[in-house]
Amino acid sequence: MASTLSCGSKNVNYETFVPRREVHPQVTHSMPAEKIEIFKSLEWWAEKNILTLLKPVETCWQAQDFLPDPASDGFYEQVRELRERAKEIPDDYLVALVGDMITEEALPTYQTMINTADGVRDETGASLTSWAIWTRAWTAEENRHGDLLNKYLYLTGRVDMRQIEKTIQYLIGSGMDPRTENSPYLGFIYTSFQERATFISHGNTARLAKQHGDINLAKICGTIASDEKRHATAYTKVIEKLFEIDPDETVKAFAEMMRKKITMPAHLMYDGRDDNLFDHFSAVAQRLGVYTANDYADIVDFLVETWKVKELTGISAEGRKAQDFVCGLPARVRKLEERAQATAKEAPNIPFTWIFDRHVKL
C-alpha cells in the first residue's frame, strides 16, 4: 500500500517545494531495542575494519584534478578542448550521466538516511563514535562525486543546467523512501546493495565515455566508480560481521529488503514537468547498459555469495525461509527480465528537459 507525502497544513501549498509523490506507509524503529547493544559493542571492530577503508583527505583526488584550472592562463583553451570532446557524446548517454549526477547531488538525503538508523547515527553532528566518524567521512568523500560531475557537465554546454538544478532541488526536498525503518540491519543491507549498484553504473558510464572518445570523462567516471567500490566493501563488511554474530536476524533483514526491492536513491526525482522522470531515466540507463535488471540480479548473487548465505546453518525456521528466498532470487529476477524483454514494445522517443527537450529513445 502506498500513501502520499503530506504535511497536514492547509495554509501551505507544499507541493510547490515538495512534489506529490507516492511513498510507502512510514514504519519506524522496527529493530528490537536490545539489538542496539550489538552496534555499541562493534565500535572497536568498526574502527579497525571500516574506518581503515576511508582515504586520508591529503591523498584523495579532488574534482579540480579533472577539470580546467580557472587560475591558469590555459583555462579557456582547456575548456575549449573539453567542449570539443563532449560534442561527440550522444544525447541518451547524457541523460544517463545527468541522472547519475543528480543522484549524487542529493547527498544530504543519504546522510540523513544513514543518520536515521538506531545505534549508529551521529547523535550530535560531531560525535566521536566510529559509526558517526564513518558516516561523516563517507559523506565527505561522496560529496566530490556530485561536484565533479556537475562541473564537468556544466562546462560541456550540452545540458540545460537550470533544469538540472531544479531537479536537484525538488529531489532533495522530496527525500527518499528506502523503507529501512531506522534499522541498521536494513540500512546497511540497503547501502551494501546501493554502493555496488553505483560502482557498476559509474563503471559503465566510464566504459561508454571511452567508446565515445572522451577519455577525460572516462577517467572521471572510473575514478568515482573506484570510490563506490571501496564504500561498497565497507558496508558489505558490516553485514558480513552481522551475519557472523547474529545470522538469524541478518538473513531475515536481507530477505526483507529484497522483498521490498531496492529502490534507487533518486526514485522520487522530478523536474517540474515529467511525472515519470525516474522511470524514463532508468529506461535509458537500462537500454544503454549503464544499469540493468541483470545488474540487479548480479548484485544479489554477489551478496549471497559474499555473505555465504547458502552455507548458513543453525538458524530458525523463519531464517531458513528467508535464506531460500534470497538464494532463489537472482534466477527469478533474470527470468522475469527475459520475459519482459520478450514482450517489450517498441520504446517511444521522449523529450528530456535536462537536454533542452531533445528527444531520446527509452
Binding residues for Fe cation: 104, 142, 145, 195, 228, 231
* Residue burial 336-362, b: 16+ Cβ < 10 Å; e: rest: ebeeeeeeeeeeeebebbbbeebebeb
| Residue closer to Fe ion (CB basis): 237 or 252 | 237
Known catalytic residue at 198: yes
Known catalytic residue at 195: yes
With CB atoms as reference, the residue minimizing the distance to Fe ion is 145
Closest separation in Å from C-beta 244 to Fe ion: 25
CA distance 71 to 75: 7
Closest separation in Å from C-beta 110 to Fe ion: 8
Q: Among residues 109, 135, 180, 198, which one is catalytic? A: 198
Q: Among residues 92, 105, 142, 274, which one is catalytic? A: 142
Closest separation in Å from C-beta 247 to Fe ion: 27
| Residue closer to Fe ion (CB basis): 193 or 270 | 193
Half-sphere exposure of 189 (CA within 13 A, CB side): 30
Under the rule (CB under 5 A), what is the footprint of Fe ion?
104, 142, 145, 195, 198, 228
DSSP string, 20-55: --EE-------S-GGGHHHHHHTHHHHHHHTGGGS-
Known catalytic residue at 47: no
Known catalytic residue at 280: no
Known catalytic residue at 43: no
Known catalytic residue at 227: yes
CA distance 17 to 15: 5
Q: Is residue 135 within 8 Å of residue 122, measured between CB atoms?
A: yes
| Residue closer to Fe ion (CB basis): 268 or 309 | 268
Q: How many CB atoms lie within 10 A of CB 80?
A: 12
Q: Among residues 122, 228, 256, 271, which one is catalytic? A: 228
Closest separation in Å from C-beta 195 to Fe ion: 5
CA-to-CA dists, residue 276 to 159, 176, 224, angstroms: 20, 15, 27
Closest separation in Å from C-beta 172 to Fe ion: 15
DSSP 8-state secondary structure symbol assigned to residue 116:
T
| Residue closer to Fe ion (CB basis): 18 or 63 | 63
Known catalytic residue at 145: yes
CA distance 26 to 69: 46
Q: Which residues pair with 23 in a beta bridge?
A: 3
Q: How many CB atoms lie within 10 A of CB 25?
A: 8
| Residue closer to Fe ion (CB basis): 285 or 312 | 285
Catalytic residues, which ones? 61, 104, 142, 145, 195, 198, 227-228, 231
